[in-house]
A and B are shown apart, each in its own frame.
Chain A
């Protein structure tokens, strides 16, 4: 709240003399510093409540890459071929990873070490995200300042520093690409708007470099390279073309494309895939338009008409030729030139129809309404006011902000993960709305006293200069406040509406005669308005702190649960990875579902078959098939992959819902996509997925079921699954091809070893020597042990 107050003070201080300007500058800097501290410290709940660890899945991979980078140096890093994952294929890490985050953390670590500050790589990685969220809030200040001035900038920065949607991806320990990418995104937008406002080539260069950093950090850079052309096109269509627009856009396309092509993971995709074609098309259109404007300047209007027809025909012909070529190129490629993830952005149902791997990730699902409220809270109500304020008056910068908001709202509706892109737009617009509202209310408070004293003098005053204009403005404000008071019946909606009215009325032509009468009761109304807005901000702050402390701080490798007899800590994941690290050979291969691949390589340092970088669908499908096959078939598949250990995550004992049994249908679907003998229907009873007595025999015989529930009935005698809340179907069975080697304290991770192959030669000799009756008995025994089907 201190920041909010300071922000409003700073706004108020804007109009004064030189000393006041300097003071406001100092105050502004101080507020920004506080905002940075706030952004950093609100993300430390996870460290305080849990410990300083890397969170979740992907961050473990990034951590491992950073470790490698800090150990082996940058050149080794570019050439790194990782043979500990995707066995037996391996993965070229240097060429398939977005290196921005890793290089950033690596640089910070190197810098600190060369300053003799001995921090471990892990510590640096844990705190990278909070540091960059402070940077992101500063970048937000700059961007909003370009559009709407200091006050709105400070407000937006404060809001962004604690918006839950961004916190969810940038708490300490959440060492993921998005942590730095959001900063890069906002900063690139800032530099673009800055270039647009100043027309300086210097900022255009910086803009391209910042875009390069964004390309390095995150695949979401395609959002920038499509949004900026959209804005340029919008400017051209609405007749706002200026030479500043040319300076802002044309160098960015050329330099940005070249710089993007330097990043190995993008490479030639920067010119070959259709995500980037829009920018080239707009580049051409911009040149045509620039030429038209240039010729217009040279010629008389009559001649210009003639020239116009000429240029237009030629330009259109050129454009059509280019479009035709592009269309031919796009149509010739099998996926129409769009990668799966981008297609699923444009057509939300695409992924669930065609790409089970993308659809299986929960953060790729469309969001629900509550998740919007969770992610942006009261800001959702402020945004419309912000949009309106952007239209009064509409500048290049504010039209960019509106366009950014509109597109990101669409994208966030497609994929819950892209809520993160929406968050800055929402923060900026609601920052603008809040600051405008504060501006109007405080100004009306400020001019309240003079007007009551000067009513008579102004009515008959002869000096028309500044004082009378001031009166007019104040009286309008007062009228607005009067209106607002009428509108302020209760709650956010009505207040929002009234604020909209305020802004609308503020711009409409004024009739002083009428205003004089409306100058009553404004002071209380504006005080109420301010109080109300502060209360709204207070609610938002409370929600944000709650979200940071409770909802998003859990590291998900350590789970806690609160029950009547105190706090329980489930540290099973690290227990199992430590067991693997200490009790297995260095070159042993561990098979698990792909979710646990990154953690296994990073924490247990063992080779895995598949991991979270889902680049090879067939390989994942193979593991899925093995998990959904009966024991013998699974053993054969795993044995052919040199697997020694199989790891399953099981939540039935403690009621952990996101375990392998609940993910199992995705294994079946992904496996069935490549190997048609796995059919989803075999695992469903009347369309329902269940593992109790109603479960299908295929389900109750598959490897995943067996590995999860082996000896489970021994725990309580009944086999009651706490995650699914029913008794399991098959309780007592033996494993023939696998043996249990380790189960963690709460049974969350169970590790099995593949039994070695029987010594066949001897068995055959014995078979020939001994009598046939004994062999049949043995077979019978084997049949009992192996009851598939």
Chain B
């Protein structure tokens, strides 16, 4: 057990160290993603307590958050300098795509909200 605990400690330490090296703009996106996921969780918990009656509202709320998070992750993947696959994709283009996708997503959600 102590070995496992030591391992976990080491792991967390190296993780935080590695993460501290990430550029600030990526950290901002990470925060954005974490916030979106947290909002989705809050909504799910609320649904568990109160019930899912206007089901389309619940669905659009949760899916809006998850969608935002997913798109944020996509953006993060694309603007990440370490990612070799997207070397020839300028970050401006990635952001434009991100905005377009978000527009479509939230247009749909506004339609679906009821």
Binding site for B on A (CB under 8 A): 199-202, 204-205, 208-209, 242-244, 246-247, 250-251, 254-255, 257-259, 261-262, 268, 271, 290, 295, 297-300, 303, 306-307, 310
Contacts and interface: CB of A to CB of B under 8 A. Distances in A.
B71 interface: yes
B46 interface: no
23 contacts: A199-B77, A199-B78, A201-B78, A209-B104, A242-B85, A243-B77, A246-B73, A246-B74, A246-B77, A251-B71, A255-B104, A258-B60, A258-B63, A258-B67, A261-B59, A262-B111, A271-B59, A298-B18, A299-B14, A299-B18, A300-B14, A303-B14, A307-B15
Contact of B11 (A200, A201, A209, A303): A303
A204 B15 contact: no
Contacts of A199: 77-78, 85-86, 89
Given A209-B104, A306-B7, A202 B74 contact: no
Contacts of A204: 74, 101
A770 to B, nearest CB: 69
A254 B59 CA distance: 11
Contact of B108 (A201, A262, A295): A262
B104 A247 contact: no
Contacts of B85: 199, 242-244
A299 B15 contact: yes
Given A298-B15, A306-B7, A306-B10, 7 more contacts: A209-B104, A243-B77, A247-B78, A251-B71, A261-B56, A303-B10, A307-B15
B55 interface: yes
Nearest to B71: A251
Nearest to A250: B70
Contact of A205 (B70, B86, B100): B100
Contact of A250 (B73, B78, B89): B73
A200 B66 CA distance: 19
A201 B108 CA distance: 17
B75 to A, nearest CB: 8
Interface of B: 7-8, 10-11, 14-15, 18-19, 55-56, 59-60, 63, 66-67, 70-71, 73-75, 77-78, 82-83, 85-86, 89, 94, 96-98, 100-101, 104-105, 108-109, 111-112
Contacts of B66: 254
User: 5 closest pairs, A vs B, by CB?
Assistant: A201-B97, A254-B67, A298-B18, A243-B77, A250-B70
B29 to A, nearest CB: 13
Nearest to A204: B101
A306 B105 contact: no
A491 to B, nearest CB: 46
Nearest to A246: B77
A164 B88 CA distance: 43
Tell me which of B96, B108, B112 has the highest count of chain A C-beta atoms within 10 A of its own C-beta. B108
B97 A208 contact: no
A200 B93 CA distance: 9
Contacts of A300: 14
Given A268-B55, A299-B18, A310-B11, A201 B63 contact: no
A254 B70 contact: yes
A204 B100 CA distance: 11
A599 to B, nearest CB: 36
Contacts of B109: 258
Tell me which of B8, B63, B96 has the highest count of chain A C-beta atoms within 10 A of its own C-beta. B63
A595 B18 CA distance: 68
Given A205-B101, A258-B63, A299-B18, A251 B74 contact: yes
A255 B59 contact: no
Contact of B112 (A244, A247, A254, A261): A261
Contacts of A242: 85
A71 B63 CA distance: 37
Contacts of A200: 89, 97
Nearest to B70: A250
A129 B111 CA distance: 30
Contacts of A208: 104
A251 B67 contact: yes
Tell me which of B67, B89, B94 has the highest count of chain A C-beta atoms within 10 A of its own C-beta. B67
B15 to A, nearest CB: 7
A201 B73 contact: no
Nearest to B10: A303
Contact of A255 (B15, B77, B86, B105): B105
Tell me which of A208, A247, A297, A299 has the highest count of chain B C-beta atoms within 10 A of its own C-beta. A247
A212 B58 CA distance: 21
Contact of B94 (A201, A298, A310): A201
A295 B12 CA distance: 11
A287 to B, nearest CB: 9
Contacts of A201: 71, 74-75, 78, 94, 97-98, 100-101
B67 A255 contact: yes
Nearest to A252: B70
Nearest to A271: B59
Contacts of B70: 250-251, 254
Nearest to A242: B85
A297 B82 contact: yes
A261 B55 CA distance: 11
Contact of B100 (A202, A244, A247, A257): A202
A649 to B, nearest CB: 44
A55 to B, nearest CB: 35
A364 to B, nearest CB: 32
A250 B83 CA distance: 18
A297 B21 CA distance: 13
Nearest to B66: A254
Contacts of B14: 299-300, 303
Contacts of A290: 73
A410 to B, nearest CB: 31
Nearest to A295: B15
